[in-house]
Structure 1
Amino acid sequence: MRQIESNVTELVKNKIGNRRVAEADAVKINNYRELVEEIAKLSYLNKDYLLFFRGQNYDYRNKAGSSTFYPSIYRGDYLSKKEVRHRFDILQGASRLLVDAFESRKLPGTQELKRKKYIQWSILQHYEVCGTPLIDFTHSIRVACSFALNSCVEKSAFVFVFGLPYITNRVSHNSEHDLVNIRLLSICPPSALRPYFQDGYLVGTEDVLDEYESKQELDFNNRLLAKYEIPNSSDFWGKQFPPIPQEALYPENDQVLDICKDLKFEADRELQSGDVGDFLKAWSEVESLIVGKTVGSRKRFTPQAAIRAMCKEGLIPKSLEGDFHNVRRFRNELVHAPNSMSASKFSLYMKRVRELKAILSKVLVV
């Protein structure tokens, strides 16, 4: 997608200086009315864009310190092309199961769901079944603030403002900015209640799926206009602007939610046999690094003894001993019962073994 060319308010300008918005800290806002007035100024300064919002408990940043907003299918520090293709395979399988579930229940909108992948992806993304190339936004400031503060355990939360092309249809394609914007209220079947209560939109990079030159082109910090930090306090809302309660954002008696709970269970179990080999290879490299290190004597240690001795001598952080044993325990479970492993659990431990390897490669000289 194209990098946005934007104008910022005085508050944002004073905060970011010469940096990009994504690289700077968020502007602190005291209350909801102040936020609305600030966004009104931002909207006026950026007439070429339609403003969309995203509320989060945290400001997630990459290793370079920039706020980052990837569609769920592209998230992760160590993302190989094979892993991306695997995630798209899971998405394709979940899409088929979704269509089958709609057909068997004879739900309204089934025929259109069968024809249009964006409807399938929108439901799977919005109900958190599996990763998709789309990211959730809302056109409502109130919804974004409610999302940010609901379930928040910190003293503050964050609201992010994005500038996107104006929409013209239920599914708007903009080739100039390489973006597709999906208005969920117009495209989701009526049995999917959640999008209608959240004023939801889903946005993705047009024509970019499992092949891309740079992952950075998929990061929606390219469209970030401003980020605001709001207090986790009832004083933020005041008497005139009540928040939207959790039960309203996630309504009960939602037929599609019931379907998607079953689909998520199936999607989480999609683990390919080749992935097991990749994990065992990475684990073998970790053990080779450990065993190949002489610690305090000339004898060779078992991996468990070596990692314990290195922690004792202060060569590596003590926390790594626990990480090592946890990953080792998972490795044994994977070897003896690979069919019992979910894809989500596998991805977590695959990430951990790669992190272990990266840390040990820096501190150990074999």
Structure 2
Amino acid sequence: MRQIYGQLTAELKNHTTPKTVGKDPGYRINSFRELVEQVAKLSYLNKDYLLFYRGQKNDYQNKAGVSTFYPTIYRGEYLTQQELNYRFDLLKSACKLLVQEFKSQKIEGYHELQRKKYIQWSVLQHYEVTGTPLSDVTQSLRVACSFAQLYNENETAFIYVFGLPYYSNRISINSEHDLVNIRLLSITPPSALRPYFQEGYLVGTEDITNEYVNKGELDLNQRLIAKFEIPNSDEFWNAEFDRIPENALYPDNDIIKDICDNLKLDLQPEVEDSDLGLFLKLWTEIESIILERAKKYQRNVFNMRKALFILMENEEQTYNYLKELDYLRNFRNKLVHNPASIRKDDIRKMTENLEYLMNELKKAHNILYK
């Protein structure tokens, strides 16, 4: 998404700048009325944007000390491509299960849900089934503040103000700003109560999934205009306003919540040919290396198990790596002969282990034979 720098109120200008608002501490606000007054000024000063809000109990920051708002699917300082692919596979499986459940239970709106991935993502995001490429925001300051104070044991909470393009449709895609904005009140099925009570919207970067050039462009801090720190107390609301209670933010008798809770129990990504192929490709490569090295000690070696035992006897420095590789050999045999019994997460972890062992064995080989 495109970076913007907002216009600040006189009070905020004495505290921060448009370029450092994410790095500087939140501007202290004492009451809900004072917050509304500040936001009213910001709305007037930033006429080119529609203001949205997000409340959090902590100010989560990246390594540079800047407030960060990555969608759940992209979170993590060191996110490998394999982990990211796994998360998207999990999301794909969740979408498939969600469509099946909506269809089998004849939930109103299931025809549209099965055709549009953004609706599927919206439901999965709001009911916390799995990570998605979307971030939660709201147009209600009261909702944002109530969320920030909910389950919060800290003395303060944080409210963030974002500037987004004006929207014209339920799903608004703005190519100039590389943004998609989803109005949940008009896109999620009416039986999904939570988005309606929370006056929710979801925001993401257009056309970005598990491949990107710069991860920073996925962070909603690109649209951050202001950051406020509020008291986590009843005094913040005064007598004029009330926080929204928990049972309104998370309403009871929500059939979609029941469906999504059951999805979490059954959710497993589907094993695809590409997952099998990557593991077996790596295995073939490391098998060739192991057999070649074993032949330095015994000429007639033609199977992996024997080669591993020969190397264990002759190369004590790599014994632990070889022992782990023997465990992976058993996993490889199970994968080839009974792939249906293997979970996708197992393949992902074993592939990572295999890559690690290959690198370590190559390093050891260079030391032994340099």
TM-score band by shorter chain is: 0.7 to 0.9
Deviation for aligned residue 1:83 = 1.7
CA distance in 1, matches of 2:30, 2:101: 46
Inter-CA distance 104–236: structure 2 relative to 1 (3 Å threshold): same
* 1:269-316 alpha-carbon deviations (Å, 9 max, x no partner): 779977xx8xxxxxxxxxxxxxxxxxxxxxx9x99xxxxxxxxxxxxx
Structure 2 counterpart of 1:49, which letter? Y
Alignment pair present for 1:184 and 2:192 = no
Q: What 5-or-longer segments of structure 2 have no aligned partner? A: 280-316, 321-326, 336-340, 357-370
Q: What is aligned with 1:13? A: 13
Q: How many residues are matched?
A: 304
The question of 1:31 aligning with 2:49 is answered no
- The 3 A distance-change label for structure 1 pair 17 and 164 is closer
What does 1:256-295 align with in structure 2 at a 5 Å threshold? 256-267=256-267
Given that residues 130 and 267 in structure 1 are in contact (C-alpha distance below 8 angstroms), is that contact kept between their aligned partners in structure 2?
A: no
Partner of 1:62: 62
TM-score with structure 2 length normalisation? 0.74
Q: Which amino acid aligns with 1:29?
A: I
Following superposition of structure 1 onto structure 2, how do residues 141-220 of structure 1 map, counting pairs within 5 Å?
141-220=141-220
Q: Name the CA shift for 1:6/1:18 in 2 (closer, same or farther; >3 Å).
A: closer
SS in 2 for 1:15: coil
Read off the aligned partner of 2:144 and give its amino acid letter.
A
Residue in structure 2 matched with residue 82 of structure 1 by the alignment: 82
In the alignment, the residues of structure 2 paired with residue 55 and residue 342 of structure 1 have an alpha-carbon distance, to the nearest angstrom, of: 35
Query: Cα gap change, 1:56/1:127 in structure 2, threshold over 3 Å: closer, same or farther?
Result: same
Give the residue type in structure 2 aligned to 1:194: R
Alignment of 1:243-258 (within 5 A): 243-258=243-258
Larger radius of gyration: 2
Which residue in 1 is equivalent to 2:289?
none
Tell me which amino acid in the other structure corresponds to 1:237: W
Match of 1:92 in 2: 92
Quote the Cα distance in structure 1 between the aligned partners of 2:162 and 2:18: 19
Give the deviation of 1:243 after TM superposition.
Answer: 0.3
In structure 2, the residue matched to 1:236 is: 236
Cα 1:110/1:170, change in 2 over 3 Å:
same
CA pair 26-340 structure 1, distance change in 2 beyond 3 A: farther
* 8 Å Cα contact 2:5/2:18 also seen in 1: no
Rounded Cα–Cα distance in structure 2 between residues aligned with 1:268 and 1:220 = 29
The one-letter code of the counterpart of 1:267 is: L
Deviation at residue 10 of structure 1 after TM alignment: 1.9
User: Using a 3 Å threshold, how does the CA distance of structure 1 residues 100 and 233 change in structure 2: closer, same or farther?
Assistant: same
The SS at the match of 1:22 is: coil
Between the aligned partners of 1:271 and 1:234, the Cα distance in structure 2 is 50
Distance 1:9 1:340 in 2: 57
- CA shift, 1:54, in A, is 0.4
Q: CA RMSD in A?
A: 3.3
Q: 1:86/1:59 Cα in 2 relative to 1: closer, same or farther (>3 Å)?
A: same
- Which amino acid in the other structure matches residue 129 of structure 1? V
- Does residue 110 in structure 1 map to residue 110 in structure 2? yes
Q: In the superposition, relative to structure 1, how do residues 342 and 169 fare at CA in structure 2: closer, same or farther (>3 Å)? A: same
Q: Does 1:222 pair with 2:222?
A: yes
SS at 2:25's partner residue? coil
Cα distance in structure 1, aligned partners of 2:188 and 2:18: 42
Report the Cα offset of residue 11 of structure 1: 2.2
Letter in 2 for 1:232: N
Provide the C-alpha distance between the structure 2 equivalents of 1:269 and 1:49, rounded to a whole number of angstroms. 39
- 1:267 and 1:104 mapped to 2: Cα distance? 17
Deviations 1:29-77 (A, max 9, x none): 0010000000001111000000000000100000110000011111111
Q: Which runs of 4+ in 1 moved over 4 A?
A: 268-274, 338-344
State the Cα distance separating 1:4 from its structure 2 match.
0.8
CA distance in 2, matches of 1:214, 1:261: 34
Structure 1 position 6, deviation (Å): 1.6
Q: By how many angstroms is 1:17 displaced?
A: 4.5
What is the distance in 2 between the residues matched to 1:202 and 1:18? 24
